[in-house]
Amino acid sequence: MKRALFLLFFLIATLSYVEAQQRPQYTQYVFNNMLLNPAVSGIENYTDVKLGYRSQWTGLSGAPVTSYFTVNAPIGADFVNGDATASAAGGGVNPLSRLYTQYYEAAQPHHGIGFMVVNDKTGPLTQTNIDATYAYHLGLSPTWNMSVGVSAGVNHVILNTSEITLETPFDPAIANGNISQWKPDVGAGIWAYTSNFYVGASVQQLIKQNLYFSTNKTYNQSQTVPHFFFTAGTKLFLSDDVTFLPSVMVKVINPVPVSFDITGKVAFRDKFWVGGAYRHNDSFSGLVGFNINSLINVGYSYDVTTSNLNTVSNGSHEIVLGILLNNRYKVTCPQRSF
């Protein structure tokens, strides 16, 4: 029984201890901010599809493995058909160039909708979040937009007892318990953006939920908590076509200490980018991305673990495939997110 209890508390607390979070962590969040903030839904002039896979702390048995699918699209004829900064057919001005900012205008008011599925497995514990998102984008000034968004769906938590070795066949910590649980999932966010700067704030797991795997209340001690994310980024032009893109993300999750990620990318026109990242008390990362054409882009990152787990971990791998559907202006990289 003690071993089962230890396993359950360890699995639930592992992410909170190492990364101050119960939700999955991402190094490539800069490639897909929708994972953290529903207000990003519909920010671009095309249907944005992302497929991602992350293998964390490779070499450590039972380490987290995360996969996800996200899709979002804009709704509103004035934006979709008449976006003031939409590129001409063939790509037009590079959205990451200094010239692009000179002609930039705020997007027309419009709606954004999205859908996401995130699956995260840590040892015998699997968590799947299924959410729909909605955002509304409005102009604050000739060059500034603000969007507000919400997400709503369900969180499915499964404990695979066949992967747990017990000292006794009948353990009250998990015996006759609810090993497959469905919980409501709600989030919200806000995002302000212009041609060369963005700032956002969001919350996930807004509704606290108890997680229980036993009918005996003695063992039902775990609870989900809200996750707050604060993000910001900017463009710094090294030349007309080489751009440095620093960004920061701060995570606030009570009662653990505040954590943060700092990322820097150097983009070479709208063709490819390379960069690095630092995650507080956890890792250093190398990142690279390629905008292959107006349909496909891809990003990859490798994390070098600096926490105490570095003695058993070979680092973390993460890859993201992006697909740009209904891309009428044939852009090869995002125009309003970076």
> What pLDDT score was predicted for residue 165?
64
Task: State the pLDDT at residue 1.
Answer: 40
Q: Is there a contact between 153 and 131 (Cβ–Cβ < 8 Å)?
A: yes
Residues counted in the chain = 338
Q: Which of 274, 264, 279, 288 is nearest to 315 (CA)?
A: 279
Query: What is the distance between the alpha carbons of residues 14 and 197, in angstroms, rounded to a whole number?
Result: 34
Cis peptide before 246 (omega within 30 of 0): no
Q: What's residue 169's pLDDT?
A: 59
Q: What pLDDT, on a 0 to 100 scale, did the predictor assign at position 83?
A: 54
Q: What is the pLDDT of residue 87?
A: 45
Enter the CATH code of domain 22-325.
2.40.160.40
At residue 286, the 3 state secondary structure works out as strand
Contact 235, 96 (CB under 8 A): yes
Number of Cβ within a 10 Å radius of residue 187: 24
What is the DSSP code string of 49-92? EEEEEEE-STTSTT--EEEEEEEEEEE-HHHHTT-TTPPPTT--
- Name the pTM for this structure: 0.85
CB contact set of 67 (below 8 Å; sequence gap of 6+): 52, 53, 54, 118, 119
Q: What is the pLDDT of residue 68?
A: 97
Q: How do the domains of the chain map onto residue ranges?
A: 22-325
The predicted pLDDT at position 279 comes to: 93
10-residue averages of pLDDT along the chain (338 residues) = 41 40 86 96 96 88 90 92 51 78 89 97 90 96 96 91 64 62 94 96 90 62 86 94 95 90 94 95 93 95 84 85 93 90
Q: What is the pLDDT of residue 84?
A: 42
- Which pLDDT score, from 0 to 100, does residue 325 have? 96
